[in-house]
A and B are shown apart, each in its own frame.
Chain A
Amino acid sequence: MEMLSGAEMVIRSLQDQKIEYIYGYPGGSVLHIYDALAQQEQIKHILVRHEQAATHMADAYARASGKPGVVLVTSGPGATNAVTGIATAFMDSIPMVVLCGQVPSTLIGEDAFQETDMMGVSRPVVKHNFAVKHPSEIPGLIKKAFYIASSGRPGPVVIDIPKDMTTPTDKFEYHYPESVSMRSYSPATRGHSGQIKKAVELLLSARRPMIIVGGGTIGGRASAEATELARTLNYPVTTTLMGLGGFPASDPLWLGWPGMHGTYEANTALHNSDLILSIGARFDDRVTNATEKFCPTAKIIHIDIDPSSISKTIAADVPIVGPAKSVLIEMLALLAKTDRVPDAEALSEWWSQIDQWRQRHGGRYELNDNGLLKPQQVIEALYKVTKGDAYICSDVGQHQMFAAQYYKFDKPNRWINSGGLGTMGFGFPAAMGVKLHYPDAEVVCVTGEGSFQMNLQEFSTCSQYDIPVKIVCLNNQSLGMVRQWQDMNYDSRHSQSYVKSLPDFHKLTDAYGHKAITVKTEAELIPALEEAFALKDELVFLDIHIDPTEHVYPMLVPKASMRDMWLSKTERT
């Protein structure tokens, strides 16, 4: 048997786990590990400029590929800098393994230099965390961490590694386990067949059905099955913000997304439906509006891998705990066998009702006569120029909502955003993480001048590793989403939402050796985008000046039901 130090075991375990990239930043407590890293070539390390960016890169890689991302940071400030990214992944159920250095075990609890109780700090934002107690535990814990992170409802796992667990001269037998079994952890591998049968019967007797495709459909790789089910039944589909691309947006069955800035037709149809089939969506407050007024006539079939997501906010009539894919396969099999069909007349009435709702708003927006670009125009142009086939990694704010509304996703894993935590600063490192793994794909960061400044230091990382992402900055010179709320709820008192003294983004981009293009008019827009995407090997920052007064609509009226919306600054349902 091979004898390795703890530091070598960390690296070797990652190799045996077939990890290609890790993202991180060195520091005192992880120097032994970095030294072991330097003595091999299989695993490539990306040195970010802030640990938060490392977590978002790993996270976005996981969102695009379905495989867990890996982060390596030092103790204390390295670990706490990673917390926002860990929490971001946790809220969106993204598999990730974060290796954190720790002060030597002999110093733990003594307020040693760069000591932070990372087990305690991370506990509420991880799926699980482990502290290494002996170097020989390292391979087993790493194997468990990957297993836990990527099975069941995925999530981030932290491993806290005291420095003395990695001492180069202390060698122990190395063995990387083939598999893991844990008596206290066994996620469901299939749904209850009785419940599935009940669900199919309910589905077939629905007169005004709706299907909600959520992030769990994408995470559970069940998009093809969800699409087949909807098409078999000819039922309308809405995909949540996390589920965009889980059902093709170009399909006529698609009504857009539900919730706060969802479409008029999706929200209204949900409100009036008599049956909702939810596939891996968790009915969070940004979707449901006031839960007591949520879809009063709908029965609910709720498929989720996590039992605690079912009946948490909205009571389910038919709960099904299981992986979306296997549950949907069973449902499709039952549908194939039965002679029963949905009531054709009811369904066609439902569809003609929905088609009327589609006419009412239909994603319209008003163009400016003062020549200022509208954000919606920019996203539509982006969609056109990239032929709808780019990875869109978004930051958080109005630009995020516009991107989600006007870029139509036909494939899963293409829309990458911080839906649950709403982390400004996510978009740019996320785009980097995706581009690194999919060098031939178009990878775009849609951002705002506010969000971008939260992780702009990563310009430097992009220079070092040649990561030619395209950055579309919808520059409205304000924290637009905050400003919108202040317009609507605080008599337009723009408290701290105006970003004075913006940097000259052109010079800034230049300083890092990248290319910038400034866009101020409609005439410049398409040519600028085309130029940017033609520069395959360059990072291009598009500083696109847009109308700062624009609001995102539709918008649910607070504390009301799903059908209560503002459709423009002046029009309410």
Chain B
Amino acid sequence: MRHIIAVLLENEAGALSRVVGLFSQRNFNIETLTVAPTEDPTLSRLTVTTSGSDRVIEQITKQLNKLIEVVKLVDLTEGEHIEREMMLIKLKATGQHRDEVKRTVDIFRGQIVDVTSSIYTVQLIGDQGKLDAFINAIGEAYVLETVRTGVSGIARGDKVLSL
């Protein structure tokens, strides 16, 4: 099963390499990884999506917790949560197809953020499934380039991940 693990990490040189190293060293897989400083400049927040059996996921969280620079972590998929990913995508947009692309972008509530006579550059935010669905709807033949940020996640309701 797919899991989204959110980690608060000391914002120190080398801390990220320990996390990434751990995954390869122990043969865990990483699907996406995002990291940025938080409002507290001494902490970074990292979101990793991974998949594996319950036993593997248990090991991943335990091994992450064991890293000295990991301050706290939560497996968001254990509860209600919100997940978002942003994609910038360059699409061929010529002739009659140009309107079709625009309509699809609207349906997915994306925004066209740059235009040339033959290209739309689109920004789209959603969960992984929505971004995948958009690419499917557009048709891969029209996709020139994509860049995705990877998943960020946060728990719903009162739960907060903080010190």
Interface residues in B1-37 (C-beta closer than 8 Å to A): 10, 13-14, 17-18, 21, 25
For A330, the chain B residues whose CB sits under 8 A away are: none
Complex CA–CA separation, A307 to B63 (angstroms): 9
Contact at A311–B58, with CB atoms within 8 Å?
yes
Q: Does B159 make an interface contact (CB < 8 A)?
A: no
Contact at B68–A312, with CB atoms within 8 Å?
no
Q: How many A-B residue pairs have CB under 8 A?
A: 35
Contact at A127–B14, with CB atoms within 8 Å?
no
Complex CA–CA separation, A184 to B14 (angstroms): 15
Contact at A312–B13, with CB atoms within 8 Å?
no
Contact at B62–A307, with CB atoms within 8 Å?
yes
Q: A308-B62, A311-B58 are in contact. Are A182 and B14 (CB under 8 A)?
A: no
Q: A148-B68, A183-B71, A184-B68 are in contact. Are A123 and B17 (CB under 8 A)?
A: yes
Interface residues in B101-158 (C-beta closer than 8 Å to A): none
Q: A119-B14, A308-B63 are in contact. Are A124 and B25 (CB under 8 A)?
A: yes
Specify which of B13, B18, B68, B69 is in contact with A131 (CB 8 Å cutoff).
B13
Contact at A307–B65, with CB atoms within 8 Å?
yes
CB distance from A86 to the nearest CB of B (A): 15
Contact at A123–B68, with CB atoms within 8 Å?
no
Q: Does A306 make an interface contact (CB < 8 A)?
A: yes
Q: A308-B59, A312-B59 are in contact. Are A123 and B71 (CB under 8 A)?
A: no
Complex CA–CA separation, A530 to B13 (angstroms): 57
For B13, the chain A residues whose CB sits under 8 A away are: 131
Specify which of A120, A185, A308, A315 is in contact with B68 (CB 8 Å cutoff).
A185
CB distance from B61 to the nearest CB of A (A): 9
Complex CA–CA separation, A184 to B66 (angstroms): 9
Contact at A127–B68, with CB atoms within 8 Å?
yes
Contact indicator per residue, chain A 99-132, by CB within 8 Å of chain B (1) or not (0): 0000000000000000000011001100111010
Interface residues in B41-68 (C-beta closer than 8 Å to A): 55, 58-59, 62-63, 65-66, 68
For B93, the chain A residues whose CB sits under 8 A away are: none
Q: Does B163 make an interface contact (CB < 8 A)?
A: yes
Specify which of B17, B55, B63, B69 is in contact with A184 (CB 8 Å cutoff).
B69
CB distance from B52 to the nearest CB of A (A): 13
From B63, which residue of chain A is reached at the shortest CB distance?
A308
Q: Give the dominant DSSP class at A's interface.
A: mixed
CB distance from B85 to the nearest CB of A (A): 28
CB distance from A531 to the nearest CB of B (A): 49
Contact at A128–B17, with CB atoms within 8 Å?
no
From A133, which residue of chain B is reached at the shortest CB distance?
B13
From B10, which residue of chain A is reached at the shortest CB distance?
A184
Complex CA–CA separation, A182 to B18 (angstroms): 18
Q: A123-B17, A124-B25 are in contact. Are A311 and B71 (CB under 8 A)?
A: no
For A128, the chain B residues whose CB sits under 8 A away are: 68
Contact indicator per residue, chain A 168-198, by CB within 8 Å of chain B (1) or not (0): 0000000000000011110000000000000
Q: A148-B68, A184-B71 are in contact. Are A120 and B62 (CB under 8 A)?
A: no
Complex CA–CA separation, A120 to B20 (angstroms): 12
Q: Does B76 make an interface contact (CB < 8 A)?
A: no
Centre residue among B17, B59, B62, B63 by max chain A CB count within 10 A: B62
CB distance from B98 to the nearest CB of A (A): 48
For B10, the chain A residues whose CB sits under 8 A away are: 184
Q: Does B91 make an interface contact (CB < 8 A)?
A: no
Interface residues in A305-338 (C-beta closer than 8 Å to B): 306-308, 311-312, 315
For B58, the chain A residues whose CB sits under 8 A away are: 311
Complex CA–CA separation, A312 to B57 (angstroms): 11
Interface residues in A269-327 (C-beta closer than 8 Å to B): 306-308, 311-312, 315
Contact at A184–B18, with CB atoms within 8 Å?
no
Complex CA–CA separation, A312 to B69 (angstroms): 22
Contact indicator per residue, chain A 55-97, by CB within 8 Å of chain B (1) or not (0): 0000000000000000000000000000000000000000000
Q: A123-B21, A184-B10 are in contact. Are A308 and B163 (CB under 8 A)?
A: no
From A120, which residue of chain B is reached at the shortest CB distance?
B17
Complex CA–CA separation, A127 to B63 (angstroms): 12
For B63, the chain A residues whose CB sits under 8 A away are: 308
Complex CA–CA separation, A480 to B152 (angstroms): 55
Contact at A311–B55, with CB atoms within 8 Å?
yes
Complex CA–CA separation, A307 to B61 (angstroms): 10
Specify which of A119, A308, A315 is in contact with B66 (CB 8 Å cutoff).
A308
CB distance from B121 to the nearest CB of A (A): 36
Contact at A184–B59, with CB atoms within 8 Å?
no
Specify which of B21, B69, B163 is in contact with A124 (CB 8 Å cutoff).
B21
Complex CA–CA separation, A406 to B17 (angstroms): 45
From A152, which residue of chain B is reached at the shortest CB distance?
B66
Contact indicator per residue, chain B 61-98, by CB within 8 Å of chain A (1) or not (0): 01101101111000000000000000000000000000
For B68, the chain A residues whose CB sits under 8 A away are: 127-128, 148, 182, 184-185
For A185, the chain B residues whose CB sits under 8 A away are: 68
Complex CA–CA separation, A307 to B73 (angstroms): 15
Complex CA–CA separation, A124 to B27 (angstroms): 13
From B55, which residue of chain A is reached at the shortest CB distance?
A311
Complex CA–CA separation, A496 to B14 (angstroms): 41
CB distance from A507 to the nearest CB of B (A): 45
Complex CA–CA separation, A164 to B13 (angstroms): 19
Specify which of A120, A124, A184 is in contact with B70 (CB 8 Å cutoff).
A184
For B65, the chain A residues whose CB sits under 8 A away are: 307-308
Complex CA–CA separation, A315 to B63 (angstroms): 16
Complex CA–CA separation, A541 to B31 (angstroms): 56
Interface residues in A125-149 (C-beta closer than 8 Å to B): 127-129, 131, 148
For B163, the chain A residues whose CB sits under 8 A away are: 183
Complex CA–CA separation, A183 to B9 (angstroms): 11
A sample of 23 cross-chain residue pairs with beta-carbon separation below 8 angstroms, ordered by A number, consists of A119-B14, A120-B17, A123-B17, A123-B18, A123-B21, A124-B21, A129-B14, A131-B13, A148-B68, A183-B163, A184-B68, A184-B71, A185-B68, A306-B66, A307-B62, A307-B65, A307-B66, A308-B62, A308-B65, A308-B66, A311-B58, A312-B59, A315-B55
**Additional A-B contacts beyond A120-B17, A184-B68, A184-B71 (6; CB < 8 A):** A124-B21, A129-B14, A148-B68, A182-B68, A183-B163, A307-B66
**Closest 8 pairs (CB-CB, A-B):** A308-B62, A184-B71, A128-B68, A124-B25, A307-B62, A185-B68, A308-B63, A308-B66
